[in-house]
């Protein structure tokens, strides 16, 4: 398969996987912010268990891919040797606050957009724009010089994936250690999730977790295995069809930014539709399909100027936070966690903390 055909295949695969993600997320009301809100405000763990189970499914799939050498995760963004602890914390907190103000994370807003929610269109636009400014614009200088300064960075020679960090202990290889760590963590999650009798009978939450976890694994396989081929120009092995030229999986903020860039500069031959852009389109389209089938599609707009300002502010915080934290609730919370990345764990905990604190403040203000 030549390079252009391979890129087309990767992009179409991304779109198909995005459709599956969007369809199931809409059908099952899969939502990270909703899961956190359920626990913080109502002590209801149904959607949180679904989110945790999706992580476990993704972890198991990734460990199999790593053990069989199907995908080299040490070449992914999550394996970086630079552990930007300050960036992960600040970015995660900002994203958590932002998604609470905007009524949902990047994934949820794409799903809502497919269902006819025009507020989500505004959120995605401002989120994408803020992400571009943080990656390549005026906030990029602050990100690099302050948040990713030597003070906020720890260097790990073997990268920040936990199996690599602890490899060699007792003569155990990183691949074997990944299997062992995944078995312990995933089994613990599964036991916690299924000890709840109500969750065992909840078909929607089980379906969401299994499908979304599987979509993350399939995305890794598509970009990290099928997308790895010899570059005809350099005669070296390269990853085709991804924006980062690395193995990628589901993540929605940076791809939303790249989507805006493509719309603005599509006549520039260097701008192409990539796997990430295709997944963004796919999620919205998959959600639209379900909305039409279930007859739940309806146009919605802002209820007030204040509502609009909260959503725009939240969107900007999400765009900034996701770039600084190197991912969103899906990009770090499931995709990154599936690789057992230390940075993903810190970013995820920061996102949850930012969201939970904001919810508590909102509740106090309402009271």
> For residue 170, what pLDDT is reported?
63
> For residue 117, what pLDDT is reported?
96
Largest CA distance in the chain: 65
Residue 223's nearest CA partner among 255, 268, 185 is: 255
Q: In which band, very low, low, confident or very high, does the pLDDT at 168 lie, cut at 50, 70 and 90?
A: low
The set of residues, in sequence order, having a beta carbon less than 8 Å from that of 143 and lying 6+ positions away, is 87, 134, 323, 324
Q: What's the mean pLDDT in 322-329?
A: 96
Three-state secondary structure call for residue 154:
strand
The owner of tokens 């914390």 is: 89
Q: Which residue has the higher pLDDT, 364 or 168?
A: 364
Q: In which band, very low, low, confident or very high, does the pLDDT at 184 lie, cut at 50, 70 and 90?
A: very high
Residue 23's nearest CA partner among 298, 210, 286 is: 286
> For residue 269, what pLDDT is reported?
82
**Is the pLDDT score of 167 beyond 90?**
no
* % of the chain with per-residue pLDDT over 90: 88
Tell me the per-residue pLDDT of 213-268, one tens digit each, with 9 for 90 and over.
999 999 999 999 999 998 888 878 999 999 999 999 999 999 999 999 999 998 88
Q: Which residue has the higher pLDDT, 169 or 122?
A: 122
* % of the chain with per-residue pLDDT over 70: 99
Q: What's the mean pLDDT in 37-51?
A: 93
> For residue 2, what pLDDT is reported?
82
Q: In which band, very low, low, confident or very high, does the pLDDT at 355 lie, cut at 50, 70 and 90?
A: very high
First to last CA, the chain: 62
Tell me the per-residue pLDDT of 78-128, one tens digit each, with 9 for 90 and over.
999 999 999 999 999 999 999 999 999 999 999 999 999 999 999 999 999
CA angle 352-164-80, nearest 5°?
60
Pair of tokens at residue 323: 């770039």
CA 101 to CA 118: how far, in whole Å?
Answer: 16
With residue 52 as reference, give the H or E element that holds it: helix 46-67
> For residue 166, what pLDDT is reported?
87
Instruction: Report yes or no: 300 and 118 within 8 Å, Cβ to Cβ.
Output: yes
CA 156 to CA 349: how far, in whole Å?
Answer: 21
Three-state secondary structure call for residue 37:
helix
DSSP annotation string for 233-272: TT-SEEE-S-SSSS------HHHHHHHHHHHHSTTSTT--
Residue 118's nearest CA partner among 329, 313, 311 is: 311
Q: Which residue has the higher pLDDT, 363 or 294?
A: 294
> For residue 320, what pLDDT is reported?
98
């Amino acid at each position: 398969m030549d390079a252009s055909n391979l890129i087309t295949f990767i992009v179409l695969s991304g779109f198909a996987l995005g459709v599956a993600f969007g369809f199931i997320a809409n059908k099952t009301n899969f939502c990270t912010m909703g899961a956190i809100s359920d626990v913080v405000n109502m002590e209801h763990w149904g959607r949180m268990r679904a989110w945790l189970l999706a992580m476990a499914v993704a972890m198991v799939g990734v460990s199999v891919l790593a053990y069989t050498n199907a995908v080299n995760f040490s070449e992914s963004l999550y394996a970086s040797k630079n552990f930007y602890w300050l960036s992960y914390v600040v970015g995660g907190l900002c994203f958590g606050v932002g998604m609470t103000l905007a009524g949902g994370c990047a994934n949820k807003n794409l799903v809502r957009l497919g269902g006819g929610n025009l507020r989500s269109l505004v959120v995605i636009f401002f989120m994408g724009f803020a992400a571009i400014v943080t990656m390549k614009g005026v906030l990029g200088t602050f990100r690099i010089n302050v948040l990713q300064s030597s003070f906020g960075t720890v260097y790990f020679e073997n990268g920040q994936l936990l199996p690599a960090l602890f490899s060699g202990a007792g003569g155990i290889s990183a691949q074997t250690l990944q299997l062992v760590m995944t078995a312990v963590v995933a089994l613990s999650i599964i036991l916690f999730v299924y000890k709840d009798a109500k969750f065992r009978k909840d078909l929607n939450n089980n379906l969401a977790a299994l499908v979304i976890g599987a979509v993350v694994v399939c995305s890794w396989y598509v970009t990290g295995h099928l997308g790895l081929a010899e570059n005809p120009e350099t005669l070296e092995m390269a990853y085709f069809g991804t924006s980062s030229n690395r193995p990628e999986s589901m993540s929605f903020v940076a791809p939303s930014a790249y989507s805006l860039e493509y719309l603005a500069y599509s006549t520039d031959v260097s701008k192409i539709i990539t796997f990430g852009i295709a997944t963004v389109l796919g999620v919205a389209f998959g959600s639209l399909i379900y909305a039409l089938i279930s007859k739940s599609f309806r146009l919605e707009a802002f209820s007030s100027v204040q509502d609009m300002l909260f959503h725009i502010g939240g969107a900007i915080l999400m765009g900034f936070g996701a770039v600084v934290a190197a991912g969103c609730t899906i990009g770090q919370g499931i995709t990154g966690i599936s690789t057992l990345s230390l940075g993903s764990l810190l970013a995820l905990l920061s996102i949850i903390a930012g969201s939970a604190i904001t919810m508590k403040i909102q509740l106090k203000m309402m009271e």
